[in-house]
């Protein structure tokens, strides 16, 4: 069983028996798109129209994949060694220069902007998913998750770190009151 967060509603998602170690992430913004189910991890990206039958996507230069998001009519994948790849159909992927070497852990789309987060407080932004700019996070803590909702980007990481931003460029710490590793 896996739980994922969609705006303010929590949903339970059953794991497929063929993929017991990976949570399935469903993005409702993809439903008009023919491949609404995505899975990233273990060095592969899989796509499915049903969530039952899976097809491995051919991804160039694929290392360990950590996060995948949908926005601006494309998927953005982030992973090990600063890798960022973009795809309009989930099957054909193009490498994008991130300008960083550390692992990127997660990505989100909101307010006409992609945001990717990763090791040592790395935050990258892109309006198109192709051209990325590094932003100042104010932390060196590894950031492991990012999400968009209600006009805010929220990035979370190790030691309970939570950062918020309205524009993806200016980030402020929001005390979480916990010291645990946060990950979606």
Domains present along the chain, CATH in parentheses = 2-173 (2.130.10.10)
Q: Which residues of 157-183 are buried (b: 16+ CB within 10 A; e: fewer)?
A: bbeebbbebeebeebeeeeeeeeeebe
42 has pLDDT over 60: no
What does the alpha-carbon distance between residue 84 and residue 94 come to, in Å, rounded to a whole number? 9
Residue with tokens 């399935």: 24
CA angle 151, 157, 11 (to 5 degrees): 60
pLDDT at 119: 97
Cβ neighbours of residue 84 closer than 8 Å, sequence gap 6 or more: 76, 77, 78, 95, 96, 97, 98, 104, 116, 124, 129, 132
- Residue 56 — very low, low, confident or very high, per pLDDT cuts 50/70/90? confident
Q: Is the pLDDT of residue 157 over 80?
A: yes
Question: How does residue 65 score in pLDDT terms, banded at 50, 70 and 90?
Answer: low
Which position has the higher pLDDT, 74 or 15?
Answer: 74
CA end-to-end distance (rounded Å), the chain: 14
CA-to-CA dists, residue 154 to 29, 44, 99, 145, 166, angstroms: 19, 26, 22, 8, 9
Give the pLDDT band (50/70/90) at residue 6: very low
Q: How confident is the model at residue 23 (pLDDT cuts 50, 70, 90)?
A: very low
pLDDT at 13: 44
Specify the pLDDT at position 24: 38
Both tokens assigned to 183:
């990950």
**Three-class HEC string of 59-78:** CCCCCCEEEEEEECCEEEEE
In this structure, the number of other CB atoms found within 10 A of the CB of residue 38 comes to: 21
**Cβ atoms within 10 Å, residue 17:** 7
């Amino acid at each position: 069983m896996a739980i994922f967060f969609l705006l303010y509603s929590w949903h339970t998602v059953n794991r497929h028996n063929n993929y017991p170690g990976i949570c399935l992430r469903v993005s409702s913004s993809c439903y008009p798109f023919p491949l609404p189910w995505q899975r990233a991890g273990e060095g592969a990206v899989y796509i499915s129209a049903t969530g039952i039958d899976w097809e491995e996507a051919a991804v160039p230069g694929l290392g360990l994949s950590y996060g995948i998001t949908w926005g601006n009519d494309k998927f953005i994948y982030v992973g090990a060694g600063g890798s960022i790849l973009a795809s309009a159909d989930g099957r054909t992927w193009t490498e994008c220069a991130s300008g960083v070497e550390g692992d990127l852990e997660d990505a989100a789309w909101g307010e006409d902007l992609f945001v990717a987060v990763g090791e040592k407080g790395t935050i990258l932004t892109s309006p198109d998913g192709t051209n990325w700019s590094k932003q100042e996070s104010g932390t060196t803590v590894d950031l492991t998750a990012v999400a968009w909702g209600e006009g805010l980007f929220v990035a979370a990481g190790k030691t309970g770190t939570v950062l918020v931003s309205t524009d993806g460029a200016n980030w402020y710490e929001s005390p979480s009151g916990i010291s645990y590793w946060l990950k979606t």
